[in-house]
Amino acid sequence: TSVVNRIAAGEIIVQPANALKEMLENSIDAGSSHIDVLIKEGGFKLLQISDNGCGIDKEDLPLLCERFATSKITSFEDLNRISTYGFRGEALASISHISRVSVVTKTKKAPLAYRAYYTNGNLTTSTFQQADNVDPKPTAGKNGTQILVEDLFYNVPARLKTLRSKGEELSKIVDVVGRYAVHVGGVGINCKRFGEPFNLVSTRIGMSLEDRIRAVFGNDIANELIKLELTNNDNRNELKSKYGLFGVTGVITNSNFNNKKRIQPVFFINNRLVSCEPLKRAIQSVVNIFLPKHAMPFTYLSIELDPQNLDVNIHPTKREVRFLHEEEIIDAISELIHTAMSSVDK
């Protein structure tokens, strides 16, 4: 029933930033080179994301917000090998059970764009009423997809009560958008508050990693980056064959204490934003060798693991990641950071 679906959805999407992250990943998956994010009232009133990606075929629109409707898994085998983002078609379905979703989308080959409205997983009329024979309507539009999520949690009053502060939810959204903007060099990302002209996040396609970090986290951090890269050697071959660690790139700051905002480390594993407490702790203990106690440098790591070794069954909003050979892989990354920090002149 719709109540059960709503409860399930409320467990997947617990705050506006969860919805935004899923939508952002979809836009990145769609091959976009530019993404615009617009937020009204901390995301409760409106989360709008516009991309110039591949668009959605008209025929796929009726099922867009159906559970397990995904274009990203082609066989059962793939379930264990997911290396793109996304959690098996649950995100949009969940969002549609706890908000009003509307979509304008156009593929390159379609002569027109189409507009569709959804609640509770189903196509609806423009006033979000259930009706028979609701069809997506042709409309003017550019190649790409625009998704509007309005009145998030309108039917989950208990959740609304626990999430009172619009400012706090806005900053969580901006944090997620900023992290993706740092990570994805092939996409320009802008993020604004509704009715305000200035960007909260703004990157352009093709910016260097350093410039993306500058754009998102500021000069202090961008000016003192040390590059981290697992280079080709025997050790790396072993890490790859034995532990499924395909690669690590990233940066760390060599500052005494310039990270005044104490920005949490930015970890991406297989292009998915994650938290990893054991990795964070390991980095901290390496850092403690070089910097005054409790100094927290800025860290960004992009880690490529054998997708087979990643636990994909973990709840989509639980950012804490699980993978095989955790100890060996974390050791290797600690060593990488140790080498990089010791080679810097003080």
Binding status of residue 123 toward ligand ADP by CB under 6 A: no
State the binding partner of 265 from ligand ADP, Mg ion, none, CB within 5 to 8 A by kind. none
Binding ligand ADP (rule: CB under 6 A), the pick from 48, 70, 99, 155 is 70
Using CA atoms, how far residue 109 sits from 44, 115, 266, in Å, is 34, 16, 38
Nearest distance, CB of residue 252 and ligand ADP, angstroms: 31
Nearest distance, CB of residue 297 and ligand ADP, angstroms: 33
Which CB sits closer to ligand ADP, 86 or 265? Answer: 86
Binding ligand ADP (rule: CB under 6 A), the pick from 34, 45, 88, 240 is 88
Binding status of residue 38 toward ligand ADP by CB under 6 A: no
Rounded to an integer, what distance in angstroms lies between the CA atom of residue 46 and that of residue 297? 34
State the binding partner of 306 from Mg ion, ligand ADP, none, CB within 5 to 8 A by kind. none
Indicate the pairing of strand 188-193 with strand 199-202.
Answer: antiparallel
State the binding partner of 92 from Mg ion, ligand ADP, none, CB within 5 to 8 A by kind. ligand ADP
Binding status of residue 279 toward ligand ADP by CB under 6 A: no
Nearest distance, CB of residue 22 and ligand ADP, angstroms: 5
Which CB sits closer to Mg ion, 189 or 291? Answer: 189
Binding status of residue 27 toward ligand ADP by CB under 6 A: yes
Rounded to an integer, what distance in angstroms lies between the CA atom of residue 121 and that of residue 15? 19
Nearest distance, CB of residue 56 and ligand ADP, angstroms: 5
Rounded to an integer, what distance in angstroms lies between the CA atom of residue 49 and that of residue 336? 37
Binding status of residue 184 toward ligand ADP by CB under 6 A: no
Binding status of residue 72 toward ligand ADP by CB under 6 A: yes
Rounded to an integer, what distance in angstroms lies between the CA atom of residue 50 and that of residue 120? 22
Binding status of residue 271 toward ligand ADP by CB under 6 A: no
State the binding partner of 51 from ligand ADP, Mg ion, none, CB within 5 to 8 A by kind. ligand ADP
Which CB sits closer to Mg ion, 18 or 120? Answer: 18
| Cα angle value 56/57/62 (rounded, 5°) | 90
Using CA atoms, how far residue 301 sits from 59, 206, 268, in Å, is 39, 19, 6
Binding status of residue 69 toward ligand ADP by CB under 6 A: yes
State the binding partner of 30 from ligand ADP, Mg ion, none, CB within 5 to 8 A by kind. ligand ADP
* Site residues for ligand ADP per CB under 6 A: 22, 26-27, 30, 51, 53-54, 56, 64, 69-72, 86-93, 145
